[in-house]
């Protein structure tokens, strides 16, 4: 196994940590609260709705500059913002109120949703 600071020892230690039941990815996902699951579902539904709307009328998703202070953030974010204005639940869990590591508003996810509807 080598010395305590060897690559082999560090790899074995990381493997042991990964295999511990209470630290596995499956366990973490299982521990997600019902509220977190509901909030994610709200964010996912509004993202899909916004994408479907723009796809149906053949409008572009992104704007020239989607920075926080930009006046032209793109139609996807505008549609999402309009939906948020009328629904308190959606307002509380989307955009700046969503978890920082969530990527539902990213262009990659938008393209995946687009590809899913194109294959229908």
**Could you read off the pLDDT of 32-51 as tens digits, one per residue?**
777 888 888 898 899 899 98
Average pLDDT for the chain: 79
Residues 45, 51, 57: CA angle, nearest 5 degrees: 135
- pTM of the complete model: 0.63
> What percent of the chain is modeled with pLDDT above 90?
2
Query: In sequence order, what are the residues at sequence separation of 6 or more whose Cβ sits closer than 8 angstroms to the Cβ of residue 48?
Result: 113
The first and second tokens of residue 86, run together, are 């009328």
């Amino acid at each position: 196994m080598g010395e305590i600071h060897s690559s082999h020892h560090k790899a074995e230690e990381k493997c042991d940590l990964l295999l511990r039941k209470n630290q596995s990815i499956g366990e973490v996902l299982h521990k997600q609260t019902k509220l977190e699951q509901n909030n994610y579902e709200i964010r996912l539904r509004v993202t899909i709705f916004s994408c479907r709307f723009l796809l149906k009328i053949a409008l572009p998703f992104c704007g020239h500059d989607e920075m926080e202070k930009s006046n032209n953030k793109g139609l996807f974010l505008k549609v999402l913002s309009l939906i948020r204005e009328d629904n308190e639940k959606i307002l509380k869990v989307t955009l700046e109120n969503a978890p920082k590591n969530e990527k539902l508003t990213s262009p990659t996810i938008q393209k995946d949703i687009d590809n899913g509807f194109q294959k229908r």
